[in-house]
Structure 1
Amino acid sequence: MNDLPSSPYACLSATVISDLNVNGEGAPALQNNKLAGLIITYDASSRTGILIPAPLLTRFLADAQNPPYEGFASAGFTWAPLIDPAKRAYLGVPKDRDGRGILVLSCLPGTGARESLKPNDVILEWDGFPLDNMGFYEDPEYGRMQMSQLIKGRRKPGETVPVSLIRDGRPLNVNVRLCRWDDRQNLIPENFSGEPVPFLVDGGYVLMELTGRYLRAHGANWERVVDPRLTQKYLFERHLPETPGQHVVILAGVLPDPSNIGFHEIRNAIVTAVNRKPVANMDDVFAIVDGDGGLRRITLKSVGVDVVVDQDARQAVNARLAAQYRIPVLRYRRDTPPQK
């Protein structure tokens, strides 16, 4: 299982070496006059490429030709290797299971894992396959593989798999319902398709939901360029909303105007509340702003002073900035397409 190019998602793939100079991407690879897979990237300097195997392509095509598209299955939990002998003993893993088992860290809301698993569970077997302490198993077709292949490669959304685990020092068997985890359900969606992101421009303050696409727009070294708090949030928490529908709202920037002097340098700051009311996504922001008759106050994470919007000048500022920066619409919600 390798991450796809320009993507944080992994799928079954293989690294191939070729003496032929593959021109571009999407080149078919043949074995015994049959399609072995599709080369999706190629590095001419090392003459290596990443190949998506034919069985995976066949499954994708069959799924795409029979709507609705199901996609790949997700178990809905995060995990870590379990190597430390002291920690294994603390969790009650029997000594005869040495070298086996992974540790459940968290379960995503609205998934089968949240229904059946708990943090600190130690999974010994998944779908009948023993797992080692690094999360690998012996696949009958491909050999030693990570457990992700058991979920994405051998199962579909909606199916249920048996799981053997240790909970509170006791053996337990549970069933986990698999689902399709949509990117839009993440705390920080990737948004590779470039869909419009909900935003609000009010008083020159630009509020929006954070996406992976937005972070990568800062360049190849975006991790060192953007606010470290956003980097940490993306790298370690992007799959972990506390509640369904939760996203990270940020003050992306401030359009300069005499009414907001002193705040021009603020950008990419996490917003925790609007008008003194907590927000979990831009839907919350719109509901609060519409209910209060406008944006009045912005509370930023780790900042002791709120940003206060000049109410007397707000409407005039909006009209002035819309004309100055040629902004066709000052807000976009998911349920209302942006004006053209």
Structure 2
Amino acid sequence: MRLRLAHCFAVFLLPGIASGLGREVGKKAAGDWERSLVSVEINRKQYDYFQPWAKRVQTVTKAGLLIGPREILTTADGLDDRTLVRVQKGGRGQWSSAEVKWADYPANIAVVTSADEKFWAGLKPAGLADPVRKDEEIQIIRWRAGNLEVRKAEFSRFTVSHPNMSDAVHVQLELSSEIDGVGWSEVAIAGSKVVGLVFSQSGNQLQVLPSPFVRSILEARKKGHYKGLGYFDFTWQPAENPETLDYLKLEGEKRGVVVIDAPKKSGVEPVVRPRDVLLQVDGFDIDTQGDYLDPDYGHLLLENISTRNKWAGDPVRLKIWRDGRAQDVVYRLPKAEDAARLVPEAPFDQEPEYLIAGGLVFQPLTKNYLRSWGQDWERRAPFRLAYFRNQDPAPERPAIVILSQVLPDIFNLGYQESRQLVLEKVNGQKVNYLSDLQQALQKPANGFHTLELMKGDTLQRIVLDAATLEAATKRVLDRYGIGEEHVIISSAK
């Protein structure tokens, strides 16, 4: 089953550290962590997807962990659209200029460095735990108001999901803690080792990137093997109803899951097909719920195998049941960053796209736009838009353009309450991208622009006067203080 569900502190990492940390963080241990934990300050451009022309400046202070010579580990959250990066040690004092050495947004991992020689003096790398044990006493540690704050955390479970920045699916550690205001790469420790980086918080529940997952990427990158995270692009459903497996003539005990959809690629025979029963992935048996027994984490969803020391382009051995017999096939992991989605992630380090025509504001439908409804956006965003997040692109609908809002003007009188509507055609031309809309607006029919909206919406058609459109657009831009009538990225289509 393809999962689409639908912050920062830095750390130095080097193996073989004996810091003398016990179950509790004593004075000596705290002194060791003071030499490993730093602060990372990021100044960045912040965009408002409800007002995509608005550009603000945001300052984010994250945690960082020393991981080697001149390398600080942190999460990638907040690093996109950055304008200035600085680092600080000891929780107070002078800031040093820094730069991002490497960032992987889908994995939510980044490495920061600094050319300031004085900054590195006295710092000491910390070690990453591998594996993470469920029975260890875990603590969250961070700089706060110039002092090292340590809070207890309790293990909840290992789960498989994806962070906010990607559809890539991987193992995560869930912790429970009374600490507040975290989710910016604060370090979770057990004894003298780091067990993960906190990247999200909801109430007392913390989502953590486990150290073995982080370490596997760092080591693969160091060896030149890392090609980005991969994913399974087929969709499956549990096979808990035994009649389903009987219908597919599976012999022996009930096991595996049933593939219900696999993308079709021109000229390429798919390795996995609908109605295949997936029995094993890389030697791991799959049960009827879609879980496998991981030697480090226990029972996990099979999607985790796509990022378990595997990278985009790597082969994965599958055992499937097809046409009444078991077969072994080799599946190559597509790159998660290149995943085709009807509602995609907006490109990183790029301002939002929009087009304004007579006060009508058009935007591509992206997950960044839907996230404007907050952390619980999958439930709070308008259903008619959020519905598309789980849909695959098709030749007839590779992407979606929406009428996001109307800036009131005499020109658009009667339409000023219209918002969040899917645009289908303009002047008879199908619109999938803003560039399509831009071209269609050059071809009015009988002096009017006719905009057709998706069937099912309350408003089905908008008619605009072509002769006065340009003047109305200029008037709206001047009145609302908007500099450009459109931002369209040529590579977006």
Q: Same fold (TM over 0.5)?
A: yes
Equivalent pair of 2:355/2:361 in contact (CA under 8 Å) = yes
User: Which digits, 9 at most, give the CA deviation of each residue in 1:107-142, with x for residues without a partner?
Assistant: 346699973222232211112222111111122333
What is the TM-score of this pair, normalised by structure 1? 0.81
The residue that corresponds to 1:198 in the other structure is 353
Match for residue 341 of structure 2 among 186, 191, 200: 186
Aligned match of 1:79? 236
2:370 counterpart residue number? 215
Q: 1:86 to 1:336 in 2, by over 3 A?
A: closer
Judge which range, 29-38 or 145-154, deviates more.
Answer: 29-38
Q: 1:200 to 1:39 in 2, by over 3 A?
A: closer
* 1:38 CA drift (Å): 2.6
Kindly, what percent of the aligned residue pairs are identical? 27
Deviation (angstroms), 1:289 = 3.7
- Looking at structure 2, the residues matched to 113 and 29 of structure 1 have their Cα atoms a distance apart, in angstroms, of 45
Equivalent residue runs for 1:223-242 within 5 Å: 226-234=381-389, 236-237=390-391, 240-242=392-394
**Cα distance between partner residues in 2 of 1:278 and 1:87:** 41
Corresponding residue of 1:29: 188
**What whole-Å deviation, never above 9, does each CA across 1:290-320 have from its counterpart, x for those lacking one?**
5779992221111574222211211111111
Matched, 1:90 2:247: yes
Identify the residue that residue 436 of structure 2 maps to in structure 1: 284
The structural deviation recorded for 1:222 is 4.6
Any residues of structure 2 matched to 1:34-49 within 5 Å, and which? 34-41=193-200, 46=204, 49=206
Deviations 1:52-103 (A, max 9, x none): 2222122333466688973211121222211112222223323x141x1112
Contact preservation (8 Å) 2:342, 2:388: no
Does 1:105 pair with 2:237? no
Indicate how the Cα distance of structure 1 residues 17 and 299 shifts in structure 2: closer, same or farther if over 3 A, else same.
closer
Alignment of 1:300-315 (within 5 A): 300-302=453-455, 303=457, 305-315=460-470
Return closer, same or farther for 1:243/1:142 CA change in 2, 3 Å cut-off: farther
In 1: Cα distance, 2:337 partner to 2:161 partner: 17
2:300 paired residue number: 145
Cross-structure match for 1:323: 478
For residue 386 of structure 2, give the secondary structure of its aligned residue in structure 1: helix
> Is this contact kept in 1: 2:182–2:198, CA < 8 A?
no
Q: CA offsets per residue over residues 215-267 of structure 1, 9 Å max, x none?
A: 22134565565432112222x32xx2224992221111222222222222211
Answer 1 or 2: which has greater strand percent: 2
Q: 2:328 matched to 1:173?
A: yes
> Which letter maps to 1:252?
S
User: 1:34 corresponds to which letter in structure 2?
Assistant: K
Counterpart-to-counterpart distance in 2, 1:224 and 1:42: 18
Deviation at 1:188, TM superposition (A): 0.9
The answer to whether the 8 A contact 1:183-1:191 is kept is no
1:298 aligns with 2:459: no
Counterpart of 1:246?
A: 398
Look up the SS of the partner of 2:280 in the other structure: strand
* 3-state secondary structure, aligned to 1:217: helix
User: Is the 1:205–1:251 Cα contact (8 Å) retained in structure 2?
Assistant: yes
Structure-2 residue corresponding to 1:270: 422
Distance 1:23 1:197 in 2: 28
Q: Is contact 1:101-1:131 (8 Å) kept?
A: yes
Distance change >3 Å, CA 22–CA 285, structure 1 → 2 = closer
Considering fraction of residues, name the structure with more helix: 1
In 2, the alpha carbon distance for the partners of 1:30 and 1:222 equals 31
Counterparts of 1:68 and 1:297 in 2: how far apart (Å)?
A: 52
Give the TM-score normalised by structure 2: 0.58
Output the amino acid matched with 1:56.
Answer: F
The answer for unaligned runs of 5 or more in structure 1 is none
1:74 counterpart letter in structure 2 = Y
2 CA distance for matches of 1:127 and 1:151? 10
Over aligned residues, Cα RMSD in angstroms? 3.5
289-298 or 272-281, which deviates more: 289-298
- CA shift, 1:212, in A, is 1.9
Question: Aligned partners of 1:68 and 1:270: how far apart in 2?
Answer: 42
CA contact 2:315–2:330 (8 Å) conserved in 1: yes
Structure number with larger C-alpha Rg = 2
